[in-house]
Amino acid sequence: MQQVADRANVSISTVSFVVNDTKPVSPETRARILQAIDELGYRRNAAARTLASRHSHVIALMYPLSEHHLSEFVTAAAAASARLGYRLILWPTHGDDAASEVTSLVKSGIADGALLMEVKLEDERVAMLRDADAPFVLMGRTRDTTGIDFVDVDFETTTTQAVGQLARLGHQDLALVVEDNTDTPLAGYAPAARTEQSFVAETAARGLGAYVARLPRGPAAGSAFADLLVQHAPDTTAVISLHNDANFGLVNTLRRRGVQVPRDLSIITISAPERLGALCDPPITTYPQPAEELGRRSAEALIARLQGSEEEPIQLLIPCEHPSSTSSVATAARDRAPLTGADL
């Protein structure tokens, strides 16, 4: 804070008034201080602000763990943390400042460590937390995982199993649909990239036809995917989906146009809540996401790191369970005409 005061040519107390918003400061002086803060990359220490103002500027979202109103990942992590004597706080981050927000959270003393969700292949939060020497565990994986603690869904194994299941049923032409996160904060989202890479590799190894569609989130994704199949992959007899928004729209579009699932087109969705597949009509074969185990193990890994009980990197991959029920069937594609606009 002294550096900020020196650069803005004011006293430390004046800087404190601005940072903690405790006393009025002239607009000119405030602007000078904020500019100095910007230039120096100063981050407000939340703990110090709390002591100065007697307000933490933090509110708690309380919810009973028996009620799964939030993601199962979060619920499981919260339950595991509580069992080990820790409390989990939710800290939404957004925009370009997300990485610095996470670092500030730990450095300020609000949290001892951080669990990072929605991990990208190249995730700037990792470098910032490492530079700050802040403990963290990824609920996901970056491209380079050297020395990084992570717990992630094994998308590679799950995708390979799904392709294998369809190949054994006689399907020769497969399609994959994933979310297109280009030009969004999730550009480079790791699950989509890993699933696509595994799908392309496994279908090539088996000599199968393969088509990949990347579509943005939203209710129109399913019907858009159906149109793409007609235009670019009309011989497709089975679909693998890592795009929850597309599932409902695709099934509804197929039914409306007289294409029967799974007789005419088999569909498998991977790493999705099992209940979402069950809500489709007909229900979709689902490799359910191991949400509870991933959330629990991530919290346990971070707390083990905080308590110094682990020296080597903690790196766990959890495959999705094989579906207990299925809407994918042996193909009739050898006798089925290609999909057409009339069908869809």
d(C-alpha 235, C-alpha 339), whole Å = 7
Give the containing element (helix H, strand E) for 4: helix 2-8
pLDDT score of 335 more than 60: no
For residue 216, say if its preceding peptide bond is cis, omega within 30 degrees of 0: no
Quick one: pLDDT at residue 343? Answer: 53
List of long-range contacts for 306-314, beta carbons under 8 Å, 24+ apart:
306/112, 306/113, 306/135, 313/145, 313/147, 313/148, 313/149, 314/137, 314/149, 314/150, 314/151
| DSSP characters over 190-252 | HHHHHHHHHHHHHHHHTT-EEEEEEE-SSTTHHHHHHHHHHHH-TT--EEEEE-HHHHHHHHH
pLDDT band at 66 (very low <50, low <70, confident <90, very high): very low
pLDDT band at 331 (very low <50, low <70, confident <90, very high): low
What would the CATH number be for the domain defined by 160-288?
A: 3.40.50.2300
Q: What tokens appear for 29 in the block? A: 């002086």
Closest C-alpha among 309, 320, 319 to residue 149: 309
Least confident of 34-48, 255-269, 309-323: 34-48
d(C-alpha 44, C-alpha 22), whole Å = 14
Instruction: Confirm whether 72-153+291-318 and 160-288 share one CATH topology.
Output: yes
Closest C-alpha among 54, 24, 100, 106 to residue 302: 106
Q: What tokens appear for 138 in the block? A: 């990824």
In words, the CATH class of domain 2-53 is mainly alpha
Quick one: pLDDT at residue 141? Answer: 95
Kindly state the DSSP code that residue 120 receives in the 8-state scheme: B
User: How far is CA 119 from each of CA 31, 236, 298, 306, rounded to the nearest angstrom?
Assistant: 36, 31, 13, 21
Give the containing element (helix H, strand E) for 105: helix 98-107
Inter-residue contact 138 to 151 (CB < 8 Å): yes
pLDDT score of 69 more than 50: no
In the chain, domain spans: 2-53, 72-153+291-318, 160-288
What confidence tens digit (pLDDT) does each residue in 72-123 have?
888 899 999 999 999 888 877 766 666 677 777 777 777 888 899 889 999 9
b (16+ CB within 10 A) / e for 83-100: eeebebeeeebeeeebbb
Inter-residue contact 137 to 316 (CB < 8 Å): no
- Which residue type does 93 have? T
Quick one: pLDDT at residue 87? Answer: 87
d(C-alpha 333, C-alpha 115), whole Å = 46
What would the CATH number be for the domain defined by 72-153+291-318?
A: 3.40.50.2300
For range 27-36, the mean pLDDT: 87
